[in-house]
Structure 1
Amino acid sequence: MNYLAIDASTEAASVALSFNDKIYHRFDMCPQSHSLLLLPMVDDVLKEANVSIADLDGLIFGRGPGSFTGVRIGIGVAQGLAFAADIPVVGVSTLQAMAQQAYDHFSHRNVLSAIDARMSEAYVGLYQVDENQLMQPLLNEAVMAPDLIKAHIDDVISDDLHGAGSAWDSYQDKMASLGDIVVDEKVKFPHALAMLKLGAAEFAKGNGVDAEHAQPVYVRDTVTWKKLPGRE
């Protein structure tokens, strides 16, 4: 199946295209310039592959959490492209994408993803690889003060845990309370490449929707970090 993935949820912007078993991608650190760069990046990969949006089976977007403005820009671009080409869309978690990157590049099977949410808080997700080599959540995504994270993960997983995301740079002292977690310096921001794999799995489950139904996930209204059903 042929998919385009788009993400603008953090300081980084990225696109990735899978077409006829070949991968094309772009990544750029561009704080506050997503609206200017995202469409040209999409155009670049499409031209490189010599395809159009209408040739694709679906479009994948970073649904958040992340920058409110960035998430909206990414979804807006995804909706516009998908609507014009009449193809379905599916959203992928930015936190899950970083965990997938940590597994794909470094074979880390248990990953704590945490990105700076401003206001002295971090967006946080805990993931473990499944039998299909896809990172799956162990807890619901949440936003919280960095020094509260440890209490929420200790009874879920504590061994062989690696970290990914920008929160370790933004809140070094508070994140130190997590102990000796090895943080992957090369996985600070989500990349559309990882979203290709996760999004394809969602399409395979039949979770694609029409463009107008694409929804962001902000998690600012999350007040507790609840365990997922079946993991109580």
Structure 2
Amino acid sequence: MTQTVLLALDTSTEFCSVALLSAAADKAGHARAEPRTWLRHEQTGAVSSTRLLPAIRELFDEAGLTLADCNAIAFGSGPGSFTGLRTATGVAQGLAFGLALPVVPVSTLLVCAESARRRDVSATRVLAALDARMDEIYWADYAWDHVQGEWRTVQAASLDTPERLVLPDEPFTLAGNAAAAFGARLPAVAAARTVDCEALPHALPLAYAALRAFRAGRTVPADQAAPEYVRNKVAQTTAERSAEKAEKAGKAAKDVQAATLAHDAQPGEGRQ
């Protein structure tokens, strides 16, 4: 009998989410019972970084465990809030370095799929879509492999406008908050078998997904843990803004010039 203790962190949204999971398995890696779990999931807004470490300490105290009992540390790798992703990545790396532990990065979109399936066991094809702001969505498509007991990625994490999202070719669950954010602009809302707006990034489904990854050896050394931003940038540089402004001004000037020429070419009243 072996015991696996895994700490899972997610600060990709306005929530500070921390879960501690303790799971027993036989020598072949088969689960002996449902894992024991402890959770803190609090809406903290932009100050998740100040709450994360205290929440971790609280969970270990509550469970009667210590960081030294940990076998791995998992974190929501993104996509999501840039600042939040860096917070979770940095804390996971720092703790893993100090304890010489492996790290398990887990996509926040896969966590949405995991959450949807844990809430509804029939959700075996999940289109996960999150509001990315700037009139765009993060999305990915997952199918549950019953034989492997794991998610298969049909479409990796992508960034698109709501209208460009690609629908699965079979009945599916739409998970995430994009449906609430964009409504009818998101074709998947009308096409989905079920819409689960509550299936969001959360440390508990993250922990379950990370446990399978850890047992399968899908881990990285602490120094290789990194956020998955998907969107490369969220703001234009000063030069880019100036160039865009100049381009728009030039286009406007051309439009005015074209309209003036068109007007001059029209026969006017009283003209011979």
2:99 corresponding residue in structure 1: 85
1:183 corresponding residue in structure 2: 195
Letter aligned with residue 43 of structure 1: R
2:20 corresponding residue in structure 1: 17
- Post-superposition offset of 1:13: 2.1
1:127 corresponding residue in structure 2: 142
Query: What is the identity percentage for the equivalent residue pairs of Structure 1 and Structure 2?
Result: 35
Question: Could you tell me how far apart the structure 2 residues matched to 1:43 and 1:116 are?
Answer: 31
Is 2:110 aligned against 1:96?
yes
Question: Could you tell me how far apart the structure 1 residues matched to 2:114 and 2:217 are?
Answer: 21
- Which has the greater radius of gyration? 2
**Contact 2:77/2:105 (8 A) holds in 1:** yes
Q: How many residues align?
A: 216
**Contact 1:15/1:27 (8 A) holds in 2:** yes
- Kindly indicate which of the two structures has a greater share of residues assigned to helix: 2
Paired residue secondary structure (1:160): coil
Question: Could you tell me how far apart the structure 2 residues matched to 1:216 and 1:7 are?
Answer: 11
**Contact 1:53/1:82 (8 A) holds in 2:** no
Normalising by structure 1, what TM-score?
0.87
Cα displacement string for residues 97-123 of structure 1 (whole angstroms, at most 9, x for unaligned residues): 110111111111111111111110000
Q: Indicate which of 161, 164, 176 corresponds to 1:148.
A: 164
Gaps of 5+ in 1: 222-232
Is 2:133 aligned against 1:118?
yes
Is 2:49 aligned against 1:35?
yes
Regions of 4+ moved over 3 Å: none
Paired residue secondary structure (1:216): coil
What RMSD, in angstroms, separates the aligned Cα atoms of the two structures? Answer: 1.8
**Contact 1:88/1:208 (8 A) holds in 2:** yes
**Contact 1:87/1:210 (8 A) holds in 2:** yes
Paired residue secondary structure (2:186): helix
- CA change 1:138–1:33 in 2 (3 A) is same
2:181 corresponding residue in structure 1: 170
Normalising by structure 2, what TM-score?
0.75
1:139 corresponding residue in structure 2: 155
Is 2:87 aligned against 1:76?
no
Gaps of 5+ in 2: 24-34, 233-272
- Post-superposition offset of 1:178: 4.6
Cα displacement string for residues 17-59 of structure 1 (whole angstroms, at most 9, x for unaligned residues): 1125411111122221211211121111111111111111110
- Post-superposition offset of 1:176: 4.4
Question: Could you tell me how far apart the structure 1 residues matched to 2:95 and 2:156 are?
Answer: 30
Question: Could you tell me how far apart the structure 2 residues matched to 1:75 and 1:10 are?
Answer: 14
